[in-house]
Structure formats: C-alpha cells, structure tokens
Amino acid sequence: MPDVQAAASFVFREEAGRIIATLIRLSGSFDLAEEALQDAFASALTHWPERGIPDNPAAWIASAAHRKLIDALRRQATRRNKAGAVSHHIEVTATNDPASLENDSENEMLFPDDRLRLIFTCCHPALAVEAQVALTLRTLGGLTTTEIARAFIVPEATLAQRLVRAKRKIQDARIPYEIPPPESIPERLAAVQSVVYLIFNEGYSATTGDQLVRRDLSSEAIRLGELLNRLMPSEPENLGLLALMLLHDSRRAARMSSDGQLITLEEQDRSQWDRRQMQIGSEMLRRALKQRAPGPYQIQAAIAAVHADASRAQDTDWRQIALLYEELARINPSPVIRLNQAVSIAMGESLELGLALIDKLSASGNLDSYHLLHSARADLLRRLHRNSEAAAAYRKAITLATNTVEQNYLRKRLIQTGG
C-alpha cells in the first residue's frame, strides 16, 4: 500500500495540473474537473492495491478522470433533462469501447497547451491578484484550500469564498479559456509572471507568521516557472523569472540558523549555498540575455548572479549591482527599486551617500509604511556609529514588520545599538 500511495502522490504532484487543465477545457467547469480528478485518485487507491500499479499511472488517472467527468455530465444533463453544448462536446469524444476511450484520454489529457490556457485563465486581469494567486495554486499547483489559506494566513472560509468568486467571475464574465491573441500576450504574460513571482516571494520571505521561509510555496512557484518555460520556451522573461527564483532559492539553507534566527546575506555561510542550483540559474540567465530583450526579471536575476559570483561578502561587486538597479529603475521606476539601489550605492561607494538617498526616499512618504526602508536606514546609521538614530529607526521597523522572525532580528540589532 505505501508503494501505491507513493505512486499516486507522484502522479498528483507531477501530472495533476496537466490533467485538470484538460478536464476544465472539456467541461468548462473548475468544480466538475476537480471533482472528477479527486474521484479518479480515489479509484486508484482502491484498484491499484488489488490489480497492481499500471505501467503508465498518469494515463490511468487521466482516463479514469475522463470517464468520471463524462458520468458527471451525463447525470447533470439527465437532471436538467437536456444536454448542453459542453456535454455534447465531451460525449462525442467518448465511445463504449474502454480501450478506445483510454487511448483518447491518454492522447487528449496530456495536451500541454491546456495548461497554458489554464494559466492565462487563472491570471486574467479581470480577477483580483489575490484570486489569481489562489486559483493558480488550487488548480495548477494542486494545493488544497486549507494549505493555501494557511500559507497566506487567511481564514479557510475566506479563501474558499475567494475561490468561489473567482470561478463565478470566469463563468459570468465569459472569460475565454484560451491563450490570448498575440497582441495581448505581453500584457497577459506579465500578469502570469507576476503571480508566479508573488507566490515565490511569499515562500522565500513570508509576509506574516512565525516562519521566514515557506519551502512548499517557493518550490511550487519554481515548478510553475519550469512549466511556463516548457510551454513558452522562446520567451526570455520566462527564463529570467525561473533563473531569478533558482538563484534566490539556492541560498535558502543559509538564511536561517539552527534555532530559527534570520541570517542576512552578508553574514551567511556561503558554503551552504546550492552551487548546482546557482549554475542552472546562471545558465538560464545567459540563455535569456543572448536574446537581447532584457526585462525586469532578467535584470533581477543578473543582480542575484552577481551575489552568487562572490565567494565572500566583501568580494561583492556592489557597483555592478547599483548599475543594474539603475537599469531596472529605468524600466520600472519603483521606489522599492530605488531603495535597493541606494543600499547598493551605500555598500559599494559611500555609506553617507546611500543614507542620503534613503532619506530622500523617506521624505517623499511613499515608503513610510515599508519596514525594509526603516531597517535599511537603521543598518546604515549603525554602520556609521550613529546609534541613537539607528535605534529609533530599528524601533520604527519593528512596529511595521509583520513576520516574527524579522521582528526578532530587528530587536537583536536594536539591542546592539544600545536601544
């Protein structure tokens, strides 16, 4: 039985997104597709211990889910005493010959473009970003409602309602289940990439809670990034996004101490960095840059690669990082990017100049509620031995931080300044 459960878990992890994408295309219903897939896995756990694990478990699950969906649509049509267009579409693909149905399912259920359609549907601009994230994780990611709610620290009932509203919006607004036309892809692809990176960031540095790292979320985002690259291999920003996530994630083991304390990039034991993962990320970045169409994810990946190239913190090429942030700010003039550029200037050129740039950003008020501005300012003041000012900035950062691990780190720094 453990082998059966392991086989079913592997198929769910690797193939559920692919299978459910086609079920949604066939039925036009997220709920019917999810129910059919769940029933198929339940059948596997019932039949496989008796009959053995099939040679192609994914095809078996796909075929079973296909049949479950047909049965559900037949029951639905019978209840309504009519067969809708969607039901007719799927009925004509079915035959009474199980072998023929299984062959149809295996060919049809593993059609990769269905996942691409589903990504664009989940990330349609008509949906709120929170709904895009939840729907992407629920369908393509295979996470349960409970898992997603726990990951984003929201009540399960709230998350469930968010999913219900998103599905209803897709149905009521008749959002097409399709890859958008070529002229719309750049705008829509940006939304897809943004959702994947948002998921990664929440896993890499959790906004709230008592854990800094949520490995399940960051790993899921990387998996979605890999999927996006397989489906659109010629898109350089997809490569850049995956490279960025891999380069950041390669440092995961060094970011926390054994007792759960945050370790800054400067203080990390770089021997714990995953060099193989860094090499893969760096190679992806090189492939992306060869296309000479740099975008924000490629530039951020280049910044991460500069950090990866430094065997010691003091060897970091901060001037190169500052230049990359300047280019990034040209594409996306965000105050957060300007903050990161100011920090790189402080580290590579002058603490005083970096602090002046941060103070200028602070005076604008745009980042007044952003705890990382105050923590960055506090760090530079500490390095300049202006301890009373540093303590005040650390106290401000602590009041704004919502993650317990970050709060503990800032309190430790506050104590070191005598505050």
pLDDT, greater one: 76 or 242: 242
Instruction: Give pLDDT, residue 93.
Output: 41
Give the long-range contacts of residues 192-196, CB within 8 A, separation 24 or more: 192/119, 192/120, 192/123, 192/228, 193/228, 193/237, 193/238, 193/241, 193/297, 194/123, 194/129, 195/122, 195/123, 195/129, 195/132, 195/133, 195/136, 196/136, 196/221, 196/224, 196/225, 196/228, 196/241
Q: Chain-centre distance of CA 154, in angstroms?
A: 18
pLDDT confidence bin for 81, thresholds 50/70/90: low
Cα-flanking dihedrals φ and ψ of residue 45, to 5°? -70, -20
pLDDT, greater one: 378 or 179: 378
Asked if 368 and 391 count as a contact pair (C-beta separation under 8 A), the reply is: no
Q: Which residues neighbour 233 within 8 Å (Cβ) at sequence distance 6 or greater?
A: none
Q: Which residues neighbour 55 within 8 Å (Cβ) at sequence distance 6 or greater?
A: none
pLDDT confidence bin for 109, thresholds 50/70/90: very low
| Range with the largest mean pLDDT of 3-17, 128-142, 309-323 | 309-323
Alpha-helix runs per DSSP H in 140-214:
145-151, 156-172, 185-204
The percentage of residues in the chain with a pLDDT greater than 70, rounded to a whole number, is 90
Asked if 126 and 173 count as a contact pair (C-beta separation under 8 A), the reply is: yes
Burial call 74-99: b when 16+ CB within 10 Å, e when fewer: eebbeeeeeeeebbeebeeebeeeee
Residues 130-140: tens digit of each pLDDT: 899 899 888 88
3-state secondary structure of 256: strand
pLDDT confidence bin for 2, thresholds 50/70/90: low
Range with lowest mean pLDDT among 217-231, 272-286, 310-324, 376-390: 217-231
CB neighbours of residue 269 within 10 Å: 10
**∠ CA 177-145-217, rounded to 5°:** 85
The closest alpha carbon to 145, from 277, 223, 31, belongs to 31
The closest alpha carbon to 324, from 351, 305, 352, belongs to 305
pTM for the whole thing?
0.78
Q: Is the pLDDT of residue 96 over 70?
A: no
What does each C-alpha distance from 322 to 243, 326, 374, 410 come to in angstroms?
20, 6, 20, 25
Query: Distance between terminal CA atoms of the chain?
Result: 59
Q: Is the pLDDT of residue 19 over 80?
A: yes
**∠ CA 132-31-221, rounded to 5°:** 35
pLDDT confidence bin for 107, thresholds 50/70/90: very low
> Residue 11 is encoded by which pair of tokens?
């198929």
Burial call 191-230: b when 16+ CB within 10 Å, e when fewer: bbbbbbbbbbbbbbbbeeeeebbbeebbebbbbbbebbbe
